[in-house]
Amino acid sequence: MDIKKKINGDKALVRVDGRVDMNNAKILLDKLSPLVFSCNEIVLDIEGMQYISSAGLRVFLGVYKDMKRKHGSFKLININDAVMDILRLTGFDIVFGCDLIGQQSSVPSELLGKLKEKGQEHLLRFYDELDEQGKQKLAGQIDELDLSVLDMTDEEEERGHFEPLGALTIDEINEDRQRFTEIGLDAIRKGQVGAVLLAGGQGSRLGSDKPKGMFNIGINRELYIFECLINEMMKVVKQAGAFIPLFVMTSKLNDKDTREFFEQKGYFGYDKAYVHFFVQEQLPAVDMSGKLMLSAMDTVACAPNGNGGWYISMRNSGVLHESDDTKNIKWLNVFAVDNVLQKIADPCFIGAVIDSAAACGAKVVSKASPDEKVGVLCLEDGKPSVAEYYEMTEEMRTRREPDGTLSYRFGVILNYLFKADELDKAFGITLPLHRAFKQVNYIDEYGRLIRPEKPNAYKYETLVLDMIRLQSSCLAFEVERNKEFAPVKNKTGIDSVESARELLKKNGVEL
């Protein structure tokens, strides 16, 4: 081992050539230790280093910690491939992060600064191995990352005081159905209503590797989930004599498949000029130690930002104002892809909400039992809200009105009508983040793709039900569950392909 050093003020440049092993590591330590006290920056040029053992790495780590403790810096430059392989093999590239690569790295300083502030500089461990396109891709993604997920704690959100919220019941709706319907049809004909299909999910739980909407729910003929929903919209189109702008929210994973499927199927008879696609934005996944992960050397592991991210994704995409058919929209009907009996842009529902002068509306069904696992529309501190089934106390679940009906009985089915200008007013308000412990594929420090067999990281999402809490008022609009609620969440059992097929048959749909 040969050591040469040059001092320039409070900066030391040290060149280390040869092998560093257990026999000479103390010599290296003796040369570096005095510099910790006399210099604020130590730079090691190790271009000529042939090998470094664990004893040498411990010297690096000790000096690195000493310099960090005094707010100085310790950097390695001109790292050759042999030494870099050792650093990666031992995990020291992660321990040191980008300080290890130091001046040798081509990482832009602003990019490094953003990550270093949050202790996430390990995302750049492969940066210098990427081609220019890969570097730009990774840098662009990091620049746009929402790092607020790193500030989330284990503390649960404190909820307010819940009270029951009544609904416009089926009987009350039937008494005024014709008037409500005419009001709704008038709004549709004036181009004031848009429909938003939340279709970012995959059909993995149904045994499919394609978008959930592409799942064939037919038995003796092809009948896709997307087709079921478009068929319902076509009924309204014929009734109104006008097409409704349809915004389809996809994910980065299924956007291409979804667009190609609609093209292949001729949009199931819907006028393609009225169909607009946009991609759901994403949030980074975080491992159990609070670190972001890479899904590829040039890609940060992310997941869709939840169904509550639909409006910010839609607005940021510019799709809401890209054509003439969308310029007059005042109301947006948001619905989920996995309910094959959804009645979309229902004129009666739209008319009832408009007539009520409420800021939004929600289709609801009466709960089948006190323990049914469905969120209920209610009041929270005097404002409309949704209490998830796991948030409800025993008293809330079992409380009954004088007529014997459940007080908290109106379950939401993810079919909402929002007033566009009210959404604009709330645009800058951050929705609460919810996290779920999931399996997330990632690459390890050696660049190997790891597919975990059990949950290993947290995914973060916003929920559309939290948007209800931002509204001043909400009309609960009761519908018959057997006619409008056939969720397809599982392959068999409750809320499954099997149960949805039975409900489709009962509603006269040929399978």
Strand runs (DSSP E) across 185-233, as ranges? Answer: 193-198
Q: Please report which confidence band the pLDDT of residue 356 belongs to, taking 50, 70 and 90 as the band edges.
A: very high
Q: What is the pLDDT of residue 127?
A: 84
- The whole-number average pLDDT for the span 414-436 is 89
Nearest to 114 by CA among 89, 77, 94, 144: 144
Which of 98-102, 107-111, 385-389, 469-473 has the weakest average pLDDT? 98-102
Q: Alpha helix (H) ranges present in 201-346?
A: 225-240, 255-264, 310-317
Q: What is the pLDDT of residue 103?
A: 41
Residue ranges covered by each domain of the chain = 2-105, 162-506
**Cα angle value 107/111/112 (rounded, 5°):** 70
**Integer Cα distance of 392 and 380 in angstroms:** 12
Angle of helix 225-240 relative to helix 177-189, nearest 10 degrees, comes to: 90
- Tell me which residue has tokens 């009001």: 183
- Statement: residue 215 has pLDDT above 90: yes
- Statement: residue 100 has pLDDT above 70: no
Q: What is the pLDDT of residue 130?
A: 86
Three-state SS string over 304-320 comes to: ECCHHHHHHHHHHHCHH
Task: Output the six-digit token pair for 147.
Answer: 């790092």
Task: Output the six-digit token pair for 343.
Answer: 């009645």
**Integer Cα distance of 375 and 113 in angstroms:** 42
Q: Which superfamily does 162-506 belong to?
A: Spore Coat Polysaccharide Biosynthesis Protein SpsA; Chain A (3.90.550.10)
- Statement: residue 302 has pLDDT above 60: yes
Cβ pair 244, 188 in contact under 8 A: yes
Cβ pair 180, 356 in contact under 8 A: no
Share above pLDDT 70 across residues of the chain, in percent, rounded to a whole number: 96
**Mean pLDDT over the full length of the chain:** 91
**Integer Cα distance of 80 and 130 in angstroms:** 16
**Integer Cα distance of 7 and 79 in angstroms:** 21
3-state secondary structure of 342: coil
Q: What is the pLDDT of residue 343?
A: 96
- Statement: residue 259 has pLDDT above 90: yes
Task: Output the six-digit token pair for 402.
Answer: 């004088």
Instruction: Pick 217 or 445 by higher pLDDT.
Output: 217
Q: What is the pLDDT of residue 102?
A: 42
The reported pTM is 0.79
**Integer Cα distance of 213 and 215 in angstroms:** 5
Which of 48-62, 113-127, 399-413 has the weakest average pLDDT? 113-127
Which of 112-116, 193-197, 400-404, 507-511 has the weakest average pLDDT? 112-116
Nearest to 221 by CA among 507, 505, 506: 505
Nearest to 362 by CA among 484, 276, 242, 277: 484
- The whole-number average pLDDT for the span 72-93 is 82
Whole-angstrom CA distances from 201 to 15, 249, 295, 312 are 54, 10, 19, 18
- Statement: residue 211 has pLDDT above 70: yes
- The whole-number average pLDDT for the span 73-85 is 83
Nearest to 350 by CA among 481, 238, 191: 191
Q: Please report which confidence band the pLDDT of residue 75 belongs to, taking 50, 70 and 90 as the band edges.
A: confident
**Integer Cα distance of 356 and 348 in angstroms:** 12
Q: Is 348 exposed, middle or buried (0-12, 13-18, 19+ CB in 10 A)?
A: buried
Nearest to 440 by CA among 428, 448, 432, 452: 452
Strand runs (DSSP E) across 312-438, as ranges? Answer: 331-336, 360-366, 376-380, 383-387, 410-419, 434-438
Fold of 2-105: Transcription Regulator spoIIAA (3.30.750)
- The whole-number average pLDDT for the span 42-71 is 88
Which of 108-117, 282-291, 360-369 has the weakest average pLDDT? 108-117
Q: What is the pLDDT of residue 106?
A: 64
- Statement: residue 101 has pLDDT above 80: no
- Statement: residue 394 has pLDDT above 70: yes
H or E element in which residue 15 lies: strand 11-20
- The whole-number average pLDDT for the span 82-94 is 80
Cβ pair 499, 337 in contact under 8 A: no
**Integer Cα distance of 364 and 169 in angstroms:** 9
Q: What is the pLDDT of residue 444?
A: 86
What 8-state DSSP symbol labels residue 158?
P
**Integer Cα distance of 391 and 408 in angstroms:** 12
pLDDT digits (tens, 9 = 90+) for 129-171: 788 999 999 999 999 888 888 888 766 678 899 999 999 999 9
Q: What is the pLDDT of residue 98?
A: 47
Q: What is the pLDDT of residue 157?
A: 75
pLDDT digits (tens, 9 = 90+) for 436-488: 899 999 998 778 899 999 999 999 999 998 999 999 999 999 999 999 999 99
Task: Output the six-digit token pair for 455.
Answer: 């949950």
